[in-house]
Amino acid sequence: MGQNLIEKQLKSTEIYEGRILNLRIDNVKLPDGNEAKREIVEHAAGVTIIPYLQDTGEVIMVRQFRNPAEQILLEMPAGMLEINEEPKRCARRELEEETGYKAGDLKRIGSFYTSPGFCDERIHLYLAQNLSKYEQHTDVDEFLEVLKIPLEDLKNKLYTPEIIDAKTIIGVQFLLNYLQKD
Q: At CA 174, angle to CA 65 and CA 114, rounded to 5? A: 50
One-letter amino acid at 5 equals L
The tally of domains found in the chain comes to 2
> Can you name the residues that pair with 73 across neighbouring β-strands?
64
Pair 8, 50 in one domain:
no
> Looking at the whole model, is its pTM more than 0.85?
yes
Please spell the DSSP secondary structure of 49-89, one letter per residue: EEEEETTTTEEEEEEEEETTTTEEEEE--EEEPPTT--HHH
| Residues 61 and 104 placed together within one structural domain of the fold | yes
25 and 60 share one domain:
no
Q: Do residues 27 and 58 both lie within one domain? A: no
The residues near 13 (Cβ < 8 Å, ≥ 6 apart) are: 24, 25, 26, 27
Residues 30 and 100 in one domain: no
**Rounded to an integer, what distance in angstroms lies between the CA atom of residue 48 and that of residue 90?**
9
Q: Please give the chain's pLDDT, 182 residues, in tens.
A: 567 899 999 999 999 999 899 999 999 999 999 999 999 999 999 999 999 999 999 999 999 999 999 999 999 999 999 999 999 999 999 999 999 999 999 999 999 999 999 999 999 999 999 999 988 877 788 789 999 999 999 999 998 899 999 999 999 999 999 988 76
Q: Do both 81 and 166 map to the same domain?
A: yes
Q: Which CATH number is 107's domain given?
A: 3.90.79.10
Q: Which sign does the torsion angle of CA 77, 81, 86, 87 carry?
A: positive
Could you tell me if 143 and 117 lie in one domain? yes
CB distance 121 to 22 below 8 Å: no
Q: Are residues 97 and 134 in the same domain?
A: yes
Residues 101, 16: one domain?
no
Are 99 and 130 found together in one domain?
A: yes
63 and 127 inside one domain: yes
Amino acid at 83: I
Domain span at residue 35 reads: 3-42
